Amino acid sequence: MSQQNSFAVYLKHAFQNTYNYIGLGLSAGLALIFREPGWLYLGAAGEIIYLYMCLTSQRFMRHVDSIEGEEAELDIEPLRAHIWPMITNNLRERYNQLDQLTSRFREEKSATLKERDPFYQENRRKIKVLLANYLKIALAVTRYQEYLGGVDADEITENIERLKKEIPDSIERVQDVKKKNIEILTKRLQKLEKAVANSDYLNAQMETIEDTMRLVVDQAITLTDPKGMGLQIDNLLMNLQETELIAAEMDAYTELEQGMLDDVFELPREKN
């Protein structure tokens, strides 16, 4: 039987099962009520049988593997380490502030939260998903900023107008080249406008994540409306379209990069 995790991991999950706690508590309670230690022996025997059945069950082990796998997927540190060098200092500072904010949810009163909030684990998972999306959006925003910083829309517009004025006085062969240049420059201008719109949209999404996170963390710490908190995060994740949105924006940037490689034919200026 192949095992993805150590024996201790499976044992921990088996022992910490809610039903196991109920069984142990029941045997201990009966022993106290009837003042009969035999119930403790019976509970111990049942515990051994239960643990043995769990640790020899492929179904149980697959269940534990899936839980551990989800935890590994929610570990955003590898993603953070990969993206961190590629985003601007300003976005790093904003992410650090957001991460420190969510640490209150992870640490402050965590025992109380787990006890009183039945949605704690699920909301904790959703918050990690939001942080991961925030990092991916920060990378896209950085790339758009780099692209926009290297392109001058006014210069492109001036070149288009110049070429239009030069076409009537050019020979037919040169006119065709200038028209092709106008077509390429127009596409670049359209991509530039798209980049500005996408950058503004992604910045707005980042601000929405920040505002939502502040709200849900405050609700978590004050132990108010945990179900509503989860619904707020769900609505935000739906609006973000999670990885599909990010992939679409990254594809758009790849398209922009490709557009920068289009050839614009440089012709000598015609003498008056």
Amino acid identity of residue 75, one-letter, is D
Tell me the pLDDT tens digit for each residue of 158-192. 989 999 998 988 888 888 888 888 998 898 888 88
- Which domain range does residue 16 map to? 1-73
Task: Tell whether 144 and 129 lie within a shared domain.
Answer: yes
Q: Does the structure show a pLDDT above 50 at 269? A: no
Tell me which of 73, 91, 118 is where a domain ends. Answer: 73
For 107, 131, 151, the CA distances from 103, given in Å and listed in that order, are 6, 12, 39
Q: Say what the pTM is.
A: 0.61
Tell me the pLDDT tens digit for each residue of 33-42. 888 888 888 8
Task: Tell whether 8 and 34 lie within a shared domain.
Answer: yes
**80-106: string of b/e by CB count within 10 Å (b at 16+)?**
beebeeebeeebbebbeebbebbeebe
- From the CA atom positions of the chain, what is the Rg in Å? 30
For the stretch 247-251, contacts whose Cβ atoms lie closer than 8 Å and that sit 24 or more positions apart, written own/partner, are: 249/137, 249/140, 249/198, 249/202, 250/140
Residue 135 CB neighbours (<10 A): 22
Task: Tell whether 46 and 116 lie within a shared domain.
Answer: no
What percent of the chain stands above pLDDT 90? 7
Task: Tell whether 68 and 84 lie within a shared domain.
Answer: no
What is the sign of the dihedral through the CA atoms of 194, 196, 197 and 198?
positive
Task: Tell whether 234 and 262 lie within a shared domain.
Answer: yes
Tell me the pLDDT tens digit for each residue of 213-253. 887 777 666 655 555 656 666 666 666 664 456 546 556 55
Give the chain's domain count: 2
Answer whether 11's CB lies under 8 Å from 55's CB: yes
Task: Tell whether 115 and 30 lie within a shared domain.
Answer: no
Round to whole Å and give the CA distance between 187 and 170: 23
Tell me which of 55, 73, 91 is where a domain ends. Answer: 73
